[in-house]
């Protein structure tokens, strides 16, 4: 398997209480060139798991392997796109895309590569602009170009379109599909939107909460582009929804009983 | 341009009232000189070179003192910003030191360095260092963790992370630090010079007081006010605003 999460546990040490376990014994194997979504309610640890693959969070137990190698720290073989664009405001658009390339390749090469990926996200015209002059959707496209410019083995996306309006999100979905088909990247995509997960992915991994765990794994063998009103899409949405409703109920009940105790 | 005319008119009105009060003779001439006398003493001061050499001396003290304050303040600020140990140990004292008015340091400085120009510079350094250090410390603390995380996923860490992300990200706060350090140093400079044996604008001011030359006293106060306003508005505030705009922290 290309990306392998083996029996991974994550717990945070709490100052005054015993350590808090986010999830335990997670197993997940992902093929090369696959588009996989991690879907789940807030608190299930999906973003934490993604950060662990990125190497930003430590692994408490178990191993994560990419292309046969253990992940111990963050590195340019895993590009990450965050919910916030996280661009550097003191650099212009092109310099932002060139940022990860400066250490490894020549300036000319870096410049060419930045141009290539800015063209891919349709931002060539804006390469001399500063990032705060761009809209949220454009900033997120720069972030995608920047991650792709490193030519990572896997692209990790942490609710990348969560902060955008509906229209912009729709446009970026289309662009991401195009980019994915063009670059043949392996993509691990975290979202809490069922529709988004089904619309984009080859495979939807559903996570539950308290304790965090994988509760279902759907292959989505539907032709692209997928329409929201397609019957098969709706059927799958319903199925996932039912699964998640149980989880959300559980969270609500727990929060309510906690409330009553005080 | 309209604002400019309003301000100019206001100035003329104030000068008119001044002159009226003078002509009315309510106050003795020694406490309330005519405006013409004030301008005359300013003119004489510049033509005979007294004021120019005083100004040059003041600027020399300020330049050396402020440069040292920025250097030392930055070093202290980086140390406190990067090391939690250092911050927990010494951070509070820095805030305490910052709250001491700079004129308080003058007797100490004169006892240590005598009536020398260095005593004045020392007060200027103390005036600017602490505020600079505090601002650099907040600059380092205010680097968005999100940017650091993003940089780490791009293989940037350690020293390279410091130079390529933390320093550029801190620049706007650093600029605020410089503007405040200038403002504090400028006030410290005047305090130090007033009690020193010259040369300098502050010393000229006291000299004028000793000889009961109110016209000169007011003239020098005007110079001090004009320099302060010009430096702040035209140099430091503008520099800070440009950086803020460039960093997207201010709507352009």
Domain end marker among A151, A169, A202: A151
User: Angle A218-A224-A230 (CA atoms, 0-180°, nearest 5)?
Assistant: 75
- Tell me, yes or no, whether A145 and A166 share the same domain: no
- Tell me, yes or no, whether A169 and A188 share the same domain: yes
Burial A67-102 (b: 16+ CB within 10 A, else e): eeeebeebbbbbbbbbbbbbbbbbbbbbbbbbbbbe
Give the distance from residue B81's alpha carbon to the nearest chain A alpha carbon, in angstroms. 21
Residue with tokens 């410019």: A149
> Where does the pLDDT of residue A16 fall: very low under 50, low under 70, confident under 90, or very high at 90 and above?
low
Question: CA-CA-CA-CA torsion for A217, A221, A226, A230, nearest 10 degrees?
Answer: -90
- Tell me, yes or no, whether A45 and A166 share the same domain: yes
> Where does the pLDDT of residue B200 fall: very low under 50, low under 70, confident under 90, or very high at 90 and above?
very high
Structural domain contains residue A46: yes
- Which H or E run includes A157? strand A154-158
Task: For residue B248, give the nearest of A74, A78, A132 by CB distance.
Answer: A132
Assign residue A225 the CATH number of its domain: 3.40.50.300
**What's the pLDDT tens digit per position in B24-33?**
988 998 889 9
Both tokens assigned to A83 = 């919910």
Domains of chain B in start order, with CATH, are: 48-246 (1.10.3720.10)
pLDDT of residue B252 exceeding 60:
no
Structural domain contains residue A179: yes
- Tell me, yes or no, whether A228 and A254 share the same domain: yes
Q: Scanning every residue of chain A, which has its alpha carbon at the shortest distance from the alpha carbon of B154?
A: A76
Structural domain total, chain A = 2
- Tell me, yes or no, whether A159 and A50 share the same domain: yes
- Tell me, yes or no, whether A131 and A226 share the same domain: no
Residue A131 touches chain B, beta carbons under 8 Å: yes
Structural domain contains residue A19: no
- Tell me, yes or no, whether A84 and A146 share the same domain: yes
> Where does the pLDDT of residue A113 fall: very low under 50, low under 70, confident under 90, or very high at 90 and above?
very high
Asked if B164's CB is within 8 angstroms of A75's CB, the reply is no
Q: What is the pLDDT of residue A15?
A: 67
* pLDDT-above-70 percentage for chain B: 99
> Where does the pLDDT of residue B251 fall: very low under 50, low under 70, confident under 90, or very high at 90 and above?
low
| A146 neighbourhood in chain B, CB within 8 Å | 154
* DSSP structural state of residue A159: S
Residue B172 CB partners (closer than 8 Å, separation 6+): B139, B240, B243, B244, B247, B249
For chains A and B, count residue pairs whose Cβ atoms are closer than 8 Å. 63
Q: Scanning every residue of chain B, which has its alpha carbon at the shortest distance from the alpha carbon of A150?
A: B154
| A99 neighbourhood in chain B, CB within 8 Å | 151, 154, 156, 164
Domain end marker among A151, A167, A185: A151
pLDDT of residue A17 exceeding 70:
no
Structural domain contains residue A14: no
Structural domain contains residue A133: yes
- Tell me, yes or no, whether A89 and A159 share the same domain: no
Q: What is the pLDDT of residue A13?
A: 79
Structural domain contains residue A228: yes
- Tell me, yes or no, whether A160 and A254 share the same domain: yes
Report the mean per-residue pLDDT for chain B. 93
Q: Scanning every residue of chain A, which has its alpha carbon at the shortest distance from the alpha carbon of B147?
A: A86
- Tell me, yes or no, whether A130 and A160 share the same domain: no
Q: What is the pLDDT of residue A228?
A: 85
| Interface probe with A: pick from B143, B145, B148, B153, most Cβ of A within 10 Å | B153
Both tokens assigned to A94 = 């092109």
Q: What is the pLDDT of residue A251?
A: 77
Q: What is the pLDDT of residue B165?
A: 95
Asked if B248's CB is within 8 angstroms of A103's CB, the reply is no
Instruction: Residue A116: give the domain boundaries.
Output: 79-151
Q: Scanning every residue of chain A, which has its alpha carbon at the shortest distance from the alpha carbon of B170?
A: A90
Residue A55 touches chain B, beta carbons under 8 Å: yes
Asked if A88's CB is within 8 angstroms of B147's CB, the reply is yes
* Whether A60 contacts A9, CB under 8 Å: yes
**What's the pLDDT tens digit per position in A87-96?**
999 999 999 9
Domain end marker among A108, A123, A151: A151
- Tell me, yes or no, whether A51 and A159 share the same domain: yes
ipTM of the complex: 0.89
- Tell me, yes or no, whether A84 and A43 share the same domain: no
| A88 neighbourhood in chain B, CB within 8 Å | 147, 165, 168-169
pTM: 0.85
Alpha-carbon distances, residue B193 vs A51, B46, B115, B188 (angstroms): 58, 19, 10, 8
Structural domain contains residue A49: yes
**What's the pLDDT tens digit per position in A157-196?**
999 999 899 999 999 999 999 999 999 999 999 999 999 9
Q: What is the pLDDT of residue B153?
A: 95
| A90 neighbourhood in chain B, CB within 8 Å | 168-169, 171, 246-247
Alpha-carbon distances, residue B50 vs B54, B200, B214 (angstroms): 6, 10, 16
| B160 neighbourhood in chain A, CB within 8 Å | 103
Give the distance from residue A96's alpha carbon to the nearest chain B alpha carbon, in angstroms. 11
Structural domain contains residue A210: yes
Give the distance from residue B164's alpha carbon to the nearest chain A alpha carbon, in angstroms. 9
Q: Scanning every residue of chain B, which has its alpha carbon at the shortest distance from the alpha carbon of A74?
A: B153
Q: What is the pLDDT of residue B143?
A: 93
* Whether B81 contacts B133, CB under 8 Å: no
Asked if A55's CB is within 8 angstroms of B152's CB, the reply is yes
């Amino acid at each position: 398997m290309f990306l392998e999460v083996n029996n991974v546990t994550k717990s945070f040490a709490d100052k005054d209480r015993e350590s808090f376990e986010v999830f335990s014994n997670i197993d997940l194997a992902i093929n090369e060139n696959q588009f996989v979504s991690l879907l789940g309610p807030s608190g299930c640890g999906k973003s934490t798991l993604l950060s662990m693959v990125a190497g930003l969070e430590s692994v408490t137990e178990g191993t994560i392997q990419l292309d046969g190698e253990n992940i111990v720290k963050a590195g340019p073989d895993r590009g990450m796109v965050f919910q916030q664009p996280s661009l550097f405001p003191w650099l212009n658009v092109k310099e932002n895309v060139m940022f990860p390339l400066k250490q490894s390749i020549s300036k000319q090469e870096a410049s060419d590569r930045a141009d290539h990926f800015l063209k891919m996200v349709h931002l060539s015209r804006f390469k001399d602009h500063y990032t705060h002059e761009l809209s949220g959707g454009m900033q997120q496209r720069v972030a995608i170009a920047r991650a792709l410019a490193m030519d990572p083995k896997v692209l990790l996306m942490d609710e990348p379109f969560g902060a955008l309006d509906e229209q912009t999100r729709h446009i970026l979905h289309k662009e991401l599909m195009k980019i994915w088909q063009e670059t043949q990247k392996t993509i691990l995509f975290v979202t809490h939107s069922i529709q988004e997960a089904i619309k984009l992915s080859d495979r939807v991994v559903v996570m539950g909460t308290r304790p965090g765990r994988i509760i279902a794994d759907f292959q989505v063998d539907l032709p692209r582009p997928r329409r929201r009103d397609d019957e098969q899409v709706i059927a799958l949405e319903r199925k996932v929804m039912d699964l998640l409703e149980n989880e959300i109920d559980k969270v609500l009940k727990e929060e309510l009983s906690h409330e009553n105790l005080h | 341009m309209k604002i400019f005319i309003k301000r100019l008119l206001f100035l003329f009105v104030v000068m008119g009232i001044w002159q009226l009060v003078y002509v009315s003779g309510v106050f003795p001439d020694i406490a309330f000189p005519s405006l013409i006398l004030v301008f005359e003493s300013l003119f004489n001061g510049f033509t005979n070179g007294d004021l120019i050499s005083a100004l040059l001396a003041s600027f020399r003290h300020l330049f050396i003192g402020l440069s040292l304050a920025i250097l030392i303040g930055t070093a202290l600020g980086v140390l406190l910003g990067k090391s939690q140990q250092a911050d927990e140990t010494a951070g509070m004292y820095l805030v305490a030191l910052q709250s001491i008015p700079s004129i308080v340091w003058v007797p100490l400085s004169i006892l240590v360095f005598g009536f020398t120009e260095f005593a004045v510079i020392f007060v200027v350094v103390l005036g600017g260092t602490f505020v600079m250090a505090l601002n650099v410390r907040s600059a380092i603390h205010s680097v968005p963790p999100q940017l650091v995380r993003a940089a780490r996923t791009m293989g940037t860490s350690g020293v390279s992370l410091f130079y390529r992300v933390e320093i550029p990200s801190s620049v706007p706060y650093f600029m605020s630090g410089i503007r405040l350090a200038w403002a504090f140093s400028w006030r410290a400079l005047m305090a130090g010079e007033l009690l020193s044996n010259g040369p300098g604008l502050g010393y000229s001011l006291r000299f004028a007081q000793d000889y009961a030359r109110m016209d000169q006293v007011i003239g020098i106060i005007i110079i001090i006010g004009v320099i302060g306003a010009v430096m702040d508005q035209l140099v430091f505030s503008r520099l800070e605003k440009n950086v803020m705009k460039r960093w997207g922290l201010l709507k352009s």
